[in-house]
């Protein structure tokens, strides 16, 4: 793999995080019901996490000499709490899979001039936060024992 490939993967990650940020905020606005308030609050908190992840990926892209994408990945609307949680769970799993692929490619690139342990560390940190989001969404949905 080349630096250009890593940059493409990081830009895709940035686009996923941008979409997640927008989607969580939008979903927080449509949640209704007797248990809505704590879910709304948590969706907004996760949206902030996703915004911070965007900053991480923008920084990494810049460090590698790339141009951060201004595109956004596909977003999905949902209306009920269950639909919202399921959709965000699906999207978090996609993000985790994407970040695992980035880490696999970075392992192949150790020793290259642009490789930096901080790059791998930052991607791994975002991955772990996304795994926490998955666990939390699964808990809210009553799902247990995820392999993510």
Tell me the backbone φ, ψ of residue 142, rounded to 5 degrees. 80, 25
pLDDT at 145: 65
Residue 83 lies inside a defined structural domain of this protein: yes
85 lies in a domain? yes
Query: Is residue 60 included in any domain, yes or no?
Result: yes
Question: Which residue reads 């940035």 in tokens?
Answer: 14
- In this prediction, residue 147 carries a pLDDT of 67
- pLDDT at residue 104 in the model: 92
pTM of this structure: 0.93
Query: CB of 132 within 8 A of CB of 148?
Result: no
Please report where in the chains the tokens 């609307």 appear, as a residue: 77
Q: Is residue 95 in some structural domain?
A: yes
Total number of domains in the chain: 1
Domain membership of residue 124 (yes or no) is yes
66: left (phi over 0), alpha (psi -120 to 50) or beta: beta
Domain that holds residue 56: 3-141
Predicted confidence pLDDT, tens digits, the chain (148 residues): 588 999 999 999 999 999 999 999 999 999 998 889 999 999 999 999 999 999 999 999 999 999 999 999 999 999 899 999 999 999 999 999 999 999 999 888 776 666 678 899 999 999 999 999 999 999 999 987 666 7
Domain membership flag for residue 33: yes
For the domain that residue 46 is a member of, what is the CATH number?
Answer: 1.20.1260.10
SS3 label, residue 93: helix
Task: Kindly state whether residue 146 falls inside one of the protein's structural domains.
Answer: no
Answer yes or no: is 147 within a domain: no
């Amino acid at each position: 793999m080349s630096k250009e490939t890593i940059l493409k993967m990081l830009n895709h990650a940035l686009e996923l995080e941008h979409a997640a940020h927008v989607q969580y905020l939008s979903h927080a606005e449509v949640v209704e019901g007797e248990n809505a308030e704590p879910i709304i609050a948590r969706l907004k908190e996760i949206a902030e996490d996703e915004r911070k992840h965007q900053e991480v990926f923008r920084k990494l892209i810049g460090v590698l000499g790339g141009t951060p994408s201004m595109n956004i990945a596909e977003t999905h609307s949902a209306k009920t709490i269950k639909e919202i949680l399921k959709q965000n769970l699906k999207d978090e799993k996609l993000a985790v899979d994407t970040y695992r692929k980035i880490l696999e490619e970075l392992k192949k690139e150790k020793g290259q001039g642009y490789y930096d342990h901080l790059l791998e560390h930052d991607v791994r940190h975002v991955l772990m936060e996304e795994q926490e989001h998955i666990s939390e969404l699964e808990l809210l949905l009553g799902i247990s024992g995820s392999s993510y």
